[in-house]
Amino acid sequence: MFAEGVEKAQDVNAAFASPEDAARYWAVGAKQVPTETFSYPGSAGQAQTARLYRGDDGAPVLIFIHGGGWTNGSIALNDRACGALAAEAGWNILSISYRLSPKHPFPAGLDDCRAALRWLRGGGLGFTPARIAIGGASAGGNLALACALAEGGALAALLLFYPVCGDDFDTASYQRYAEGYGLALARMQELFSLYDPEMLHRDNPLLYPLKGDLSGLPHCEIISAELDVLADDSRHLAERLKQTGVSHALHIEPGVTHGFINRGRLIPAADQCLTRAAHALKSLFESEPT
């Protein structure tokens, strides 16, 4: 059913006693770059943790938003992805935390991500505003898309790993991979109900980006998993971007499941896809004036 290493990775992932244990396990073998951990001002004035993975001097910066269905996830669980992007692309990667549901439902987490983008654009770390990109994985990809739609301005790029884009649970991928492939259809429905408990935002493109006007987005690099309920979200996003004339690239990695990108310790395709993403970022960097 799965490509080599994927089934074992799913078994391992289910065995961790805590997210911290999981983060330590998956970080083994990750590329090492200089890091700094600090706080940025969240949208309600609270301190939110962020970690900067240092790239080359003068390089652009990518805000990276972790996944976890808007309810969990962490900077540490994405250490492998962020370290690889910084090391291979030469970009600075700013991995951010944000408030989580159900304690903080929509739009609290999004508001924090928007605050991080505004803070960075305002000189929070001294980067050039026009050389800022944003991205993320799963729910983090949803938040990155929503930030780009809400904040506008000149973003260098979007980098999305298996993003949540809409609420159509009747797509072929939702039906084909509804159970037995890690992220289940029923779990996605539950996560939406935790993020938007009163279902007041069903038509809001900041929750469901496919319902919005995507014409103003920057170049969008999309990397997704074949055996994933969200695979068709990525396909539909790419089709919408094509229709609106937005530059984009879509890669769907065969034989892997949702969340694979940080599991390179067991799934070689994970690190290969990070290299693909890093090369895409690097090409944008090399084409920009210094």
**Enzyme catalytic residues:** 138, 228, 258
Tokens of 234: 């990525």
Query: What spatial distance separates the first Cα and last Cα of the chain, rounded to whole Å?
Result: 47
Strand residues in 129-240 grouped as ranges (E) = 132-137, 158-161, 220-227
Contact 151, 143 (CB under 8 A): no
Nearest Cα residue to 284 out of 41, 62, 113: 62
214's tokens: 């995507």
Give the span between the Cα atoms of 50 and 86, in whole angstroms. Answer: 15
10 touches 227 (CB < 8 A): no
Burial pattern 33-48, b for ≥16 Cβ within 10 A else e, equals bebeeeebebbeeeeb
